[in-house]
Amino acid sequence: SLLHLCFRAPLVTPLVFGLLLQPPLTQLSNITQPNIVLLMADDLGIGDVGCYGNNTIRTPNIDRLSKEGVKLTQHIAAAPLCTPSRAAFLTGRYPLRSGMDATNDYRVIFWNGGSGGLPPNETTFAKILQQQGYSTGLIGKWHQGVNCESRNDHCHHPLNHGFDYFYGMPFTLISDCQPTETPEMDRAFRGKLWLSTQTIWLLIFTAVLGRLTGMISVRWKMLTCLAGFSLLFFISWFSSYGFVRYWNCIMMRNHEVTEQPMVTERTTFLILRESISFIERNKHKPFLLFLSFLHSHTPLLTTEKFLGKSHHGLYGDNVEEMDWMVGQVLDAIDKEGLRNSTLVYFASDHGGWLERQEGKRQLGGWNGIYKGGKAMGGWEGGIRVPGIFRWPEVLPAGTVIDEPTSLMDIYPTVVLLAGGVLPQDRVIDGRDLMPLLQGAVEHSEHEFLFHYCGIHLHAVRWHQKDSGTVWKAHYTTPVFHPVGAGACYDRGVCPCFGEGVTHHDPPLLFDLSQDPSEAKPLSADNEPLFNTVIQKIGRAVEEHRKTLTPVPEQLSVYNTVWKPWLQPCCGTFPFCWCDKEDNN
């Protein structure tokens, strides 16, 4: 047998070496332009998903993605609210670079009829993939604005930002879209407007009564002017806030309004149908599908099949339905034989909304062990989100990566996979993730990540690569109410500035590697490197600020107010109502 082995050696040796040199995963050079499916949940907390530690909400399909792909445990949103986070996701840039972070309390797009939005001069990954020959589609939520100067200029519309096809909400889902729910949009401000109107009417009524009884000497002309003023005041605000469901809760297909107001009972079905149809229509060429779920934002639209099925009330039902939708999309990919040629990504736009409650009902998500939640620019709970990639035979299955990564990293990752070139005329803050996902490199390219609340820098993360430590310095934190509650239950949303925040000098410092819950702030007394770390982060902030240039504020008060002449309308304004999906 030894003789036989000697004679076979010349044949065996090359074979063994060939097997040893053969890579276990497909080389990228063998795959040109994979299909790309991006799945983004809305307001989903990292603690709401099974593969991130939740053992009571059932998410088998998202968990399957994780098992078959790569799970990121330190995946960070660039902002803790929808509009700025999604702007950063689409452009690969911190939102204040495009003017999509606010100086005021209006930190998101507030009206379809507003003039702010993702500027036309921003280059989204969809636009580059479109130029690379991809079919590009956005199904679901947009929330990046619609028009600039006229009702049909569509300057902020998805079709002006690289998407060939759009079906969904140009705005975002809110409780006002569900007639049976308590209005959500600008609730406190709307209450003040009602109170002011009623006070004016009461004064006028009292004055008229006094004039009629002779108790007050006031001219009828003055009373008529006051009545006219009160009527104009009422019309000025009720024309917008009184019809939120008609102005904001609409569905569009490309540039056409198809439902005004939207019929919420069938929204889930239509979004799923459109997503699967897009895959089927484009299976013979490379495609980009961005499925931007309306789940799990209030009012938590959930079909009867899933109502009452979870252990976490309506919110849990809604998350389980979204997971089922993920499964349906994955099944469609498999059915068309696209599994091995499709990169699938799942994430949330930011953390769960802790303060969202109605009575004893918790309608917002859970952020696991992480402090804070939606709207909080610094605390981990507002910005650390699920991040999962699956690409069979290219990415190693069952891998977990605990390196700092960002939603902005999707931009360079998909652009380079499509064979595109990153824009050279602007700063791109994202980094290509493929070397990290494939295991070619050990560390993320991010040394520093800057955590903004509006335009205010609240915290900075430093990834000290030589030691693997992740430091985080908080310059500003929100004031929780009640004290120790972990959220701003008195306000509903934590502010970025003013009386509702605390400034820290020196900054609060945490070692996230040892204290991911940010429970034990360090000091010069208990951390020998305290001053060194604070100085290093301070220098990084100075360098970062040098890269910022002034741009128009897309979320200024003027840009966020409702403008009737910009309102998308499927009829003759103001008679805007239609249902073009009824026959379908």
Write down the pLDDT at residue 465. Answer: 87
Find the helix packing angle between 60-68 and 313-335, rounded to 10°.
50
Write down the pLDDT at residue 183. Answer: 85
Please state the rounded mean pLDDT for residues 142-146.
Answer: 98
CA angle centred on 144, ends 62 and 244, rounded to 5°: 100
pLDDT in tens, 69-91: 999 999 999 999 999 999 999 99
Q: Do the beta carbons of residue 276 and residue 328 sit within 8 Å?
A: yes
Cα separation, 177 vs 536, in Å, equals 48
What is the Cα 238 distance to its own chain's centre?
A: 29
- Pick 35-173+249-579's CATH classification: 2.60.40.10, 3.40.50.620, 3.40.720.10, 2.40.40.20: 3.40.720.10
What confidence tier does 31 reach under pLDDT thresholds 50, 70, 90?
A: low
pLDDT in tens, 329-359: 999 999 999 999 999 999 999 999 999 998 8
What confidence tier does 4 reach under pLDDT thresholds 50, 70, 90?
A: very low
Domain boundaries, the chain: 35-173+249-579, 187-241
Residue 192 has which token pair? 């003040």
pLDDT at 539 over 60: yes
What confidence tier does 582 reach under pLDDT thresholds 50, 70, 90?
A: confident
Cα separation, 326 vs 313, in Å, equals 20
Percent pLDDT > 70 in the chain is 94
pLDDT at 21 over 70: no
Question: 510: which strand partners?
Answer: 472
Number of H helices, E strands in the chain: 14, 18
Residue 437 has which token pair? 């996902």
What is the Cα 24 distance to its own chain's centre?
A: 35
Q: E strands of 100-183, at which residues? A: 135-141, 165-169
Q: E strands of 134-223, at which residues? A: 135-141, 165-169
Write down the pLDDT at residue 296. Answer: 96
Write down the pLDDT at residue 407. Answer: 98
Question: 511: which strand partners?
Answer: 471
Cα separation, 433 vs 406, in Å, equals 9
pLDDT in tens, 214-238: 888 888 888 899 899 999 999 999 9
Longest dimension (CA), the chain: 128
pLDDT at 6 over 60: no
Please state the rounded mean pLDDT for residues 273-295.
Answer: 98
Closest to 57 measured CA to CA, from 485, 386, 400, 334:
386
Closest to 53 measured CA to CA, from 511, 437, 366:
366
pLDDT at 7 over 50: no
Closest to 438 measured CA to CA, from 454, 408, 421, 416:
416
Please state the rounded mean pLDDT for residues 93-102.
Answer: 97
Q: What are the residue numbers of the active site?
A: 82, 143
Write down the pLDDT at residue 74. Answer: 98
Write down the pLDDT at residue 198. Answer: 93
* Better-predicted residue by pLDDT, 29 or 489: 489
Q: Do the beta carbons of residue 119 and residue 98 sit within 8 Å?
A: yes
Residue type, 1: S
Lowest mean pLDDT among 25-34, 141-150, 404-413: 25-34
Mean pLDDT across the chain: 93
Contacts with 283 (C-beta within 8 Å, 6 or more apart), sequence order: 336, 337, 338
CB neighbours of residue 504 within 10 Å: 16
Cα separation, 209 vs 206, in Å, equals 5
Cα separation, 331 vs 502, in Å, equals 49
CB neighbours of residue 192 within 10 Å: 11
pLDDT in tens, 98-114: 999 999 999 999 999 99
pLDDT in tens, 424-464: 999 999 999 999 999 999 999 999 999 999 999 999 999 99
Lowest mean pLDDT among 203-207, 371-375, 415-419, 531-535: 203-207
pLDDT at 13 over 70: no
Please classify residue 393 by burial: count the beta carbons closer than 10 Å to its beta carbon, then call 0-12 exposed, 13-18 middle and 19+ buried: middle
Residue 27: CA count within 13 A, CB half-sphere: 5
pLDDT in tens, 379-406: 999 999 999 999 999 999 999 999 999 9
Percent pLDDT > 90 in the chain is 86
Phi (first) and psi of residue 287, to 5 degrees: -135, 155
Residues recorded for the chain: 584
Q: Using the 8-state DSSP alphabet, how is residue 30 labeled?
A: G
Token pair 């699956």 in the structure block, residue: 390
Closest to 36 measured CA to CA, from 463, 346, 360:
346
